[in-house]
A = this chain, B = another copy of it.
């Protein structure tokens, strides 16, 4: 595995593979890799001739009061994991080269980012879409892989790709979970032992919703009430949001629409904000 630090060098390598008629699969990460990332990389390996992965903790998607500085990092461990997976190129740029002085261009997906995570984190998606577009222009992939764990992010990126005619196929991959159901996330590292036990409440609440829907109960208010009960049973004091929305527009529903519904949530477990979701 070669590590590339420079944008132009990465673009040159992408051009070379494209000229050789090789397909490029790309996985963008902020490092501190877990099985969720690896599932994307394995799918990329299966689908493409070469696989590029980026590690970049992107400052523009964190607000000033968020966890940019303490976001977990372990480059050596990540590097070993990527080598083991047979990744061909790791793009590992610095903040200074990605956001040079005078940087001032941002991409906004306007409607889809006003709700859910976007409502709680107003500048978050502007940072996400901007860095993803930059990484796409640098790695020039044929296909790019994103986890459904960040459901809104996946939907927003698909919208950007379609709206800006970006010629890349976006592949969404299922959430990878711990044995007890907790969705894998680099932020799980923040949890104390007690919080780690409580954190299973997100998945439990989603399971409760699924159970109700499977039993034919499509009433959104009732489902949300039952989900809240599950969470408060774990003595969790702060739910940021529970949403049951249309999968394309992300607008809130009053009735579940089978095959077209996203149940998503953000909950504070101690100081750590966790998200999880279910596609119905």
Contact = CB atoms under 8 A, between A and B. Distances in A.
A186 interface: no
A107 interface: yes
A280 interface: no
Contacts of A164: 105, 107, 130, 133-134, 137
A53 interface: no
Given A18-B18, A21-B19, A11 B167 contact: yes
Contacts of A137: 164-167
B105 A160 contact: yes
A166 B138 CA distance: 8
* Dominant secondary structure of chain A at its interface with chain B: mixed
Contacts of A232: none
A110 B163 CA distance: 20
B104 A163 contact: yes
A52 to B, nearest CB: 14
A189 to B, nearest CB: 31
A159 B105 CA distance: 8
Contacts of A140: 167
A192 to B, nearest CB: 40
Interface in A95-112: 102-112
Which of A7, A21, A166 has the most chain B CB atoms closer than 10 A to its own CB?
A: A166
Nearest to A134: B165
Nearest to A168: B137
A18 B14 CA distance: 13
Interface string A122-133: 000000011001
Interface of A: 7, 11, 15, 18-19, 21, 102-112, 129-130, 133-134, 137-138, 140, 159-160, 163-167, 248-249
28 contacts: A11-B165, A15-B167, A102-B159, A102-B248, A102-B249, A103-B163, A104-B109, A104-B110, A104-B111, A104-B163, A105-B107, A105-B109, A105-B159, A105-B163, A106-B107, A106-B108, A106-B110, A107-B107, A107-B108, A107-B164, A108-B108, A130-B164, A133-B164, A134-B163, A137-B165, A137-B166, A138-B165, A140-B167
